[in-house]
Chains A and B, each alone.
Chain A
Amino acid sequence: MIESTANKLLGKSENTTVYVCVLYYFIMAIFVPGFFTIHNSWNLLFNLLPLLIVAIGQTYVMLGAGIDLSVTSIVAMTSIIGGYCLSDITAFIEPVWLRIVFSLGAMLLTGALIGLINGVSVAKLGMPAFMVTLTTMMLFSGTAIWLTRSQNSYMLPESFVNMPYTSLWFIPLPLLIGLVVVGIAYFLLNNTLYGEWLPSVGMNSKTAAISGVKVQSTTIWSYIICGCCAAVASILYTARLETGSPVMGQHILLDVIGSVVIGGTSLFGGVGKIQWTVIGAVFIIMLDNSLNLMGMSYFLIMIIKGLVILLAAMMNLLKEGKY
């Protein structure tokens, strides 16, 4: 019964990834001291959430046969906007919660705006997604560093900085945010018209257009969703690190694309699921965390992650019977 619901929830084909994930977790729990502790479990969770949220946005873009390399710069840009809005400049706004709501709104708006620029350039102007997001990555990470003169902004309000440690209905707030994002993303993809349109655009935009799908706006919205997801992740990062930093999230691009690809979402569009990306992100974070606990250096972890992504890509091809 549990297995059948699990199958229904996850779909059959990606069972192997789930099994690999669970197996890896137990092996690490037994052999790596410090892995299976409450402290480390929280650590895993808090590392997972922002990455997962960015990866979900990326899944949307990849479903529409695009790619968004600019997510890291969106994280950085929204982080400094948030840091700016939460600093002393807005201190006249009372009470504090209004200030925070205003700032979070500004962050989300920034993310959506950059997503809109990406989306319009790809869908309306017909530019290749790779080049568009490559240049917006250069542009906005450059702008973030330029605006702040590579200074971090500290002095964020107490209640914002305490956000990761507060709970609502006994659930830590970041976890709640993560669950809400996953929930909305899942609902949007599985229960709405948009969720049917997006993969059809990714599969073949010409046939989709003939069948009455609004190809352009579907594509634009996928980039806006991706931008908003990156902004939400940026909120979590900014609160946790207690700084608005122009180089925030600079090193997560591999992890983001890795999570989506390990999950099994196709780079060519049309095939992909939110739950796949969740598994992919969990695996990447577990790998990172366990290798760290084993005392491996940053470079070795980099090498191993690269190899694991190759291996996962091979496994996906094997499952599809391409060999």
Chain B
Amino acid sequence: MTRFQKAIQLLLNYSTVVLFLVVLVTFGLLSPKFLTLGNITNILIQSSSLTILAIGMTFVLLTAGIDLSVGSIMFVVGVISGKLVVIGLPIWWAIPLVLVIGLLFGLVNAFFIFKLKIVPFIVTLATFYVGRGLGLYISETRAINLPESFLQIGSSKLLGLPMPIVILLLVLIIGHFVLSSTQFGRQVYAVGNDMAKARKAGVPVKKILLTVYLICGLCAAISSLVALAQLGAVSPTFGYQNEFMAIAAAVLGGTSLFGGKGNILPGTLIGALLIQSIQNGLVIINVNPYIYPVITGTVIFLIVMIDSLRHKSVQKALRTKTTI
């Protein structure tokens, strides 16, 4: 292999990181405001909700499942917590209550998937619509304005760090630890790699599936609260299509849709930060808002394409090696 080929291989191997840097440098050159400490903190705060959602999604994707209902869980959680707080329940009572709702959604998903053996795609598509319908029903399709106390939590600081970043770091560290250093984490990968073999090897497949959907539901609920603390209102489109963004973030971070491959740190974090930096950068350089989805879509498409080309070239390399 020549030095040039090696360099190309290296670039391809770290394609997401490279593209992330390219995005940062491009926006940095286009606007001096982009790479300031203030704006970077801003990107971290804005991405906290998406990253937490994507962390939950990573667990599910690792078992070769998918959860399309997370956006709806966010919406239901938002609507119910809004209603509860508006009728006068203290926030510290409402928060545990809505986290339980997130868990319940996860439980329902898991029940249909491992007890009734329906494919995750169909189950979570159904709960996606049920959840959104429920949320619209409870909110009567009106926006709910949250009291000031909610926003205060969002802008409060702990040890000098903004609250959303603290929560993000907590979820990130716990998620990474669980996935990389516990028996449960290794079993998640085993189930995703080959469910039948994992079962034969004595992995409690049902328990693993149940747990990952519970984790995903819980993460969706936390993500909803983090987003609410920044927005201060629940609109009827709150959380809409967030499931796609979360899946995109996880996949950009190198998590496979077919299970068994991927990680939270650095993978999913980089993926989510990449998406958020593009959106933040587009706002800062003052692009026509109509183009946002077009550019975001194109970038995600390109990264997924580079990733599959890389796999192809890896396969080819392996093949030539075995023939030689």
Contacts and interface: CB of A to CB of B under 8 A. Distances in A.
B297 A135 contact: yes
B125 A254 contact: yes
Given A307-B126, A309-B125, A136 B294 contact: no
B292 interface: yes
A139 B297 contact: yes
Contacts of A323: 116-117
Given A138-B297, A313-B119, A306 B126 contact: yes
B137 interface: yes
A142 B304 contact: no
Given A131-B251, A131-B257, A317-B118, A142 B291 contact: yes
B301 interface: yes
Nearest to A304: B133
Contacts of A141: 293
B116 A125 contact: no
B122 interface: yes
A257 B133 contact: no
Interface string A288-313: 00000000011111110111011001
A132 interface: yes
Given A134-B244, A310-B126, A127 B308 contact: yes
A313 B251 CA distance: 27
Contacts of A134: 244, 247-248
B122 A142 contact: no
Among B112, B296, B305, max chain A CB count under 10 A is at: B305
B133 to A, nearest CB: 4
Contacts of B134: 299, 303
Say what secondary structure dominates the interface of chain B: helix
Contacts of A300: 133, 137
Contact of B300 (A135, A145, A254): A135
Contact of B122 (A135, A139, A261, A303): A261
Interface in A110-159: 121, 125-128, 130-132, 134-139, 141-143, 145-146, 149-150
Interface string B7-38: 00000000000000000000000000000000
B132 A302 contact: yes
Contact of B126 (A125, A130, A267, A309): A309
Contact of B116 (A306, A307, A314): A314
B127 interface: yes
A309 to B, nearest CB: 5
Nearest to B66: A130
Contacts of A135: 248, 297-298, 300-301, 304
Given A125-B305, A142-B293, A298-B136, A317 B116 contact: yes
Given A302-B132, A306-B126, A309-B126, A136 B290 contact: no
Given A121-B305, A135-B301, A302-B133, A310 B118 contact: yes
B121 A138 contact: no
Interface in A89-110: none
A322 interface: yes
Contacts of A309: 122, 125-126
A303 B129 contact: yes
Contacts of A121: 301, 305
A146 B121 CA distance: 30
A44 B12 CA distance: 52
A142 B133 CA distance: 25
Contacts of B107: none
A120 to B, nearest CB: 11
A150 B119 CA distance: 36
B167 interface: no
Contact of A297 (B122, B130, B137): B137
Q: Which of B247, B293, B298 has the most CB of A within 10 A?
A: B293
B142 to A, nearest CB: 13
A224 to B, nearest CB: 18
Most central of A254, A297, A310 by chain B CB within 10 Å: A310
B130 A142 contact: no
B283 interface: no
A220 to B, nearest CB: 16
Interface in A11-58: none
A143 B297 CA distance: 10
B301 A139 contact: yes
A259 B248 CA distance: 26
B55 to A, nearest CB: 19
A267 B248 CA distance: 21
Interface centre among A297, A306, A309, A314 (most CB of B within 10 A): A306
A322 B304 CA distance: 35
Given A126-B312, A138-B244, A310-B123, 8 more contacts: A128-B304, A130-B257, A131-B304, A134-B247, A141-B293, A302-B129, A302-B130, A303-B137
10 contacts: A131-B248, A134-B248, A135-B304, A142-B290, A142-B297, A305-B129, A309-B125, A310-B123, A313-B122, A317-B116
Interface of B: 66, 112, 116-119, 121-123, 125-130, 132-134, 136-137, 141, 244, 247-248, 251, 257-258, 288, 290-294, 296-298, 300-301, 304-305, 308-309, 311-312
Interface of A: 121, 125-128, 130-132, 134-139, 141-143, 145-146, 149-150, 254, 257, 261, 267-268, 297-303, 305-307, 309-310, 313-314, 317, 322-323
